[in-house]
């Protein structure tokens, strides 16, 4: 069964959601640690935390909140947003984070990525953030310098020894318009790397649609706005997948 990972996006210490990674900010909670405990009670086995301030500025700005989340959740937490130096990665892992998520620096500096893989191993996962199949950087605001295709980047990660990656369709994130199933399928078949899909999940039907890609290598889905807007609960989604698995669907 694919893993369903609730997202906590931090901005100015609050739990928020943005539309396509920019604008239309909506605050859902001013107590991130309370949200983390809620997701654990709902059955989460991991929480995906993003420092939006860090993604835009290039350096994490919500580490005090992260520390509280890690303590409150008491389940693995992955964290990304502005992690662009080895020292900062060490700092974040020192807070008890299970693994860090790299974006911009991983795309732009291959030697840095190799060093991260060598020192931190599976405690590092790369997020392939793409729009129209092209990798985006700088908080999703700019395309990669060489207009790198998502599949091309995934193949490079695989060659370096990375066994899995996060894939986010930035045009879908926060829109509640459904995930880009075609793009996820293309990445799975074109790169042969395990993928955690992110962006656009709006309903239980979307969760089921993604789960059907498990045989092709999809291992998880990150869900944000749909949960905060109460389109469904995490517990409902997990129970549905368990039922589908028993039925062989």
Domain residue spans of the chain = 3-247
pLDDT reading at 19 higher than 60: yes
Element (H or E) spanning 113, and its range?
helix 110-120
pLDDT score for 110? 92
pTM of the model: 0.93
pLDDT score for 145? 47
Which pLDDT band, with edges at 50, 70 and 90, does 142 fall under?
A: very low
Which pLDDT band, with edges at 50, 70 and 90, does 140 fall under?
A: very low
Over residues 212-234, the pLDDT tens digits come to 999 999 999 999 999 999 999 99
- The torsion angle over the Cα atoms of residues 80, 81, 86 and 92, rounded to 10 degrees, is -60
Annotated catalytic residue within 12, 51, 122, 129: 129
Note the CATH architecture for domain 3-247.
Answer: Alpha-Beta Barrel (3.20)
Alpha carbons 188 and 13: distance in angstroms, whole number: 35
Active site residue 129: yes
The mean pLDDT value of the chain amounts to: 92
Mean pLDDT of 28-53: 97
Alpha carbons 45 and 77: distance in angstroms, whole number: 9
Over residues 43-89, the pLDDT tens digits come to 999 999 999 999 889 999 999 999 999 999 999 999 999 999 999 99
pLDDT reading at 194 higher than 80: yes
Annotated catalytic residue within 9, 51, 53, 173: 9
Determine the Cα angle at 28 with ends 30 and 34, to 5°: 50
3-state secondary structure of 57: helix
pLDDT reading at 124 higher than 80: yes
Mean pLDDT of 119-126: 98
Residue 137's φ and ψ, nearest 5 degrees, are -135, -175
Active site residue 169: no
Residue bearing the bigger pLDDT, 45 or 246 = 45
């Amino acid at each position: 069964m694919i893993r369903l990972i609730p997202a906590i996006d931090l901005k100015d210490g609050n739990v928020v959601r943005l539309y396509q990674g920019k604008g239309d900010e909506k605050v859902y909670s001013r107590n991130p640690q309370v949200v983390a405990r809620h997701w654990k009670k709902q059955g989460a086995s991991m929480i995906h935390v993003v420092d939006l301030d860090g993604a835009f500025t290039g350096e994490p700005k919500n580490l005090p909140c992260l520390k509280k989340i890690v303590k409150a959740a008491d389940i693995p937490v992955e964290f990304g947003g502005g992690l662009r130096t080895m020292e900062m990665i060490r700092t974040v892992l020192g807070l008890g984070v299970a693994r860090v998520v790299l974006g911009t620096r991983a795309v732009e500096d291959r030697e840095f990525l190799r060093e991260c893989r060598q020192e931190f191993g599976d405690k590092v996962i790369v997020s392939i953030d793409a729009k129209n199949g092209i990798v985006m950087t700088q908080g999703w605001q700019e395309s990669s310098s060489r207009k790198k295709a998502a599949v091309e980047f995934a193949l490079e990660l695989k060659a370096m020894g990375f066994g899995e990656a996060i894939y986010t369709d930035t045009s879908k994130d926060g829109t509640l318009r459904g995930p880009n199933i075609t793009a996820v399928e293309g990445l799975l078949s074109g790169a042969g790397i395990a993928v955690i899909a992110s962006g656009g999940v709006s309903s239980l039907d979307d969760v089921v649609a993604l789960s059907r890609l498990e045989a092709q290598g999809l291992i998880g889905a990150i869900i944000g706005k749909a949960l905060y807007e109460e389109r469904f609960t995490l517990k409902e989604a997990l129970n549905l997948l368990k039922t589908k698995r028993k039925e062989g669907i």
